[in-house]
Structure 1
Amino acid sequence: MCWSATADLAAGTGIAAVGVVSVALAARRPRDLPLAALPLLLGVHQIIEAEVWRNDGGAGPATLAWAVIALPLLALWVPAVVLFAAPPGARRRLLAPLAVGAATAAVLAYVLATRTVTAEIRGHTVGYSVGLPRAELVVVGYLLATIGSLLLSGDRGLVLFGVLVAVGAAVSFALWRQEYISTWCAFAAVCSVVLCLWAGRRRAPVPRPPGQASPG
């Protein structure tokens, strides 16, 4: 979330551009592609919220699209793609965040299918209302699935990414609760750059010509 339609549009465009680079860097490692595409998804998410601002909130298609990405899609997407990209030794322990993410996503998808999502402009923030039953449990499940999978990934770059997401979420939530300003887009941009650098470092090595010796 950003603090205005213009900020959301600018941030979303920039983050999506980082996502395109990230996907290009990961193109030679198919297991990394879904995770490398995360900034692209986050960028589209910000651009959708720019439309929510322009509509002055409400319960239109943009609000529903924003909620679908933010809630069930990311709850399942993040632990699944982290599991896919993680080192072999970490994959067994990542099954737990994936299971939590699948259960959380199922609850969130059911709520979105049976209730109306509304958005309300509150100064420099947007408040979304879904009417979650037992919201605290759902939030805990969401955090365990997303941030938990990153922290358990066994990959230093992804652990750093998880720490940044956790810090960014905490700061953004604190400011949002005060209805002061939405800052998640700034943290999303930083996290997207970190993920892009991760994708670049994990590029597959260029095959050596036959007979060429490896450097000593």
Structure 2
Amino acid sequence: MCFSAEASFGASAILIPSGTVSLYIAMKTDRRYAPLCALPLLFGIQQFFDGMVWVSGANGDFDATRHFSIAYMFFAWLAWPVWIPFATYFVEPCRWRPFYLLGSIVGGMLGASLYFPYFAHEGWLTVEFLPKAIVYDGIETFDFLWPRSVTYGIYIASIVLPPLLSTRREVQIFGLLVFLAFATTYLFFRYAYVSVFCFLGGLISIYLVAMIINLARKKAQPEPTC
């Protein structure tokens, strides 16, 4: 994240095994939760790439910095607005699933429009190293059409609304935590919004580990008898 390579690698070292455990428990307990429970693992991979951006930047290896930055931004722009509504889709009643599928499609279209131009326009993704921050910035596709706040509004809605509007209380809590992460980033860390929001999202995803463990424990409890 924005603090240091050690912070990013440390988060990765926690999130990857945590996500592996939560995914394993979900597969054994209730497979509908498996995509959600994979999030800590995915966040851990993203934080690893963030750490590599720090390291390559410190070494002055600009080609490696660009490659690792593009890998990092894959999760930021493309994975999260697709994966989160897609993951929520599986835990919802059938009548609501088309709305989550639509959210995943909209998120994918937005994310692809923001991400894939990096391969055609080398200067569109810029990485700035501050003393305690990495600022991922540059030109975005829709800058030519409307204010960037509109793009970010659609992006945040595609991530926050699916879990927040879930019919499952435990998923709603996750959605609320994601919203709080966004609010914290917007109020205090706008200068490095991408790295901070993704880092906070990674920390919040630890909740999903506790969630699936709690669901597994409830499922394992015997039915009460008269």
Sort the TM-score into its range (normalised by shorter chain): 0.7 to 0.9
Q: Quick check: 1:129 aligned with 2:137?
A: yes
1:215 to 200, 214, 225: 225
Q: 1:53-92: per-residue Cα shift (whole Å, max 9, x none)?
A: 1122755211110011111121111111111222445424
Structure number with the bigger relative contact order (C-alpha 8 A, sep ≥ 6) is 1
Distance 1:62-1:190 versus aligned 2 partners, 3 A rule:
closer
Preserved contact between residue 87 and residue 155 of structure 1 (Cα < 8 Å):
no
Letter in structure 1 aligned against 2:128: E
1:60 to 45, 59, 66: 66
2:211 to 175, 198, 215: 198
Uncovered stretches (5+) of structure 1, i.e. residues with no partner: none
1:88, 1:197 → 2: CA distance?
Answer: 26
Preserved contact between residue 35 and residue 85 of structure 1 (Cα < 8 Å):
no
2:162 to 133, 138, 149: 149
Within 5 Å, give how 1:23-172 maps onto structure 2. 23-28=23-28, 29-56=30-57, 58=62, 59-116=65-122, 117-134=125-142, 135-172=148-185
Distance 1:128-1:187 versus aligned 2 partners, 3 A rule:
closer
Uncovered stretches (5+) of structure 2, i.e. residues with no partner: 143-147
Preserved contact between residue 9 and residue 50 of structure 1 (Cα < 8 Å):
yes
Preserved contact between residue 20 and residue 40 of structure 1 (Cα < 8 Å):
yes
Moved beyond 6 Å, runs of 4+: none
Preserved contact between residue 163 and residue 175 of structure 2 (Cα < 8 Å):
yes
What's the secondary structure of 2:129's corresponding residue? strand
1:205, 1:177 → 2: CA distance?
Answer: 42
Distance 1:66-1:183 versus aligned 2 partners, 3 A rule:
closer
Alpha-carbon offset, residue 94 of structure 1: 2.5
What's the secondary structure of 1:120's corresponding residue? strand
Distance 1:202-1:89 versus aligned 2 partners, 3 A rule:
farther
Distance 1:202-1:113 versus aligned 2 partners, 3 A rule:
farther
Q: 1:84-120: per-residue Cα shift (whole Å, max 9, x none)?
A: 2224454244344223213212312333332332211
1:108, 1:185 → 2: CA distance?
Answer: 16
Alpha-carbon offset, residue 150 of structure 1: 0.9
Alpha-carbon offset, residue 4 of structure 1: 0.3
Q: 1:140-165: per-residue Cα shift (whole Å, max 9, x none)?
A: 22111110111111111111111111
Could you tell me the percent identity over the aligned residues? 25
TM-score, reference length from structure 2: 0.80
Q: 1:14-73: per-residue Cα shift (whole Å, max 9, x none)?
A: 122221121121012222211110000001111110111112275521111001111112
Partner of 2:19: 19
Distance 1:186-1:66 versus aligned 2 partners, 3 A rule:
closer
Distance 1:187-1:73 versus aligned 2 partners, 3 A rule:
closer
Count of paired positions: 211
Letter in structure 1 aligned against 2:225: P
**RMSD between superposed Cα atoms in Å:** 2.7
Preserved contact between residue 113 and residue 141 of structure 2 (Cα < 8 Å):
no
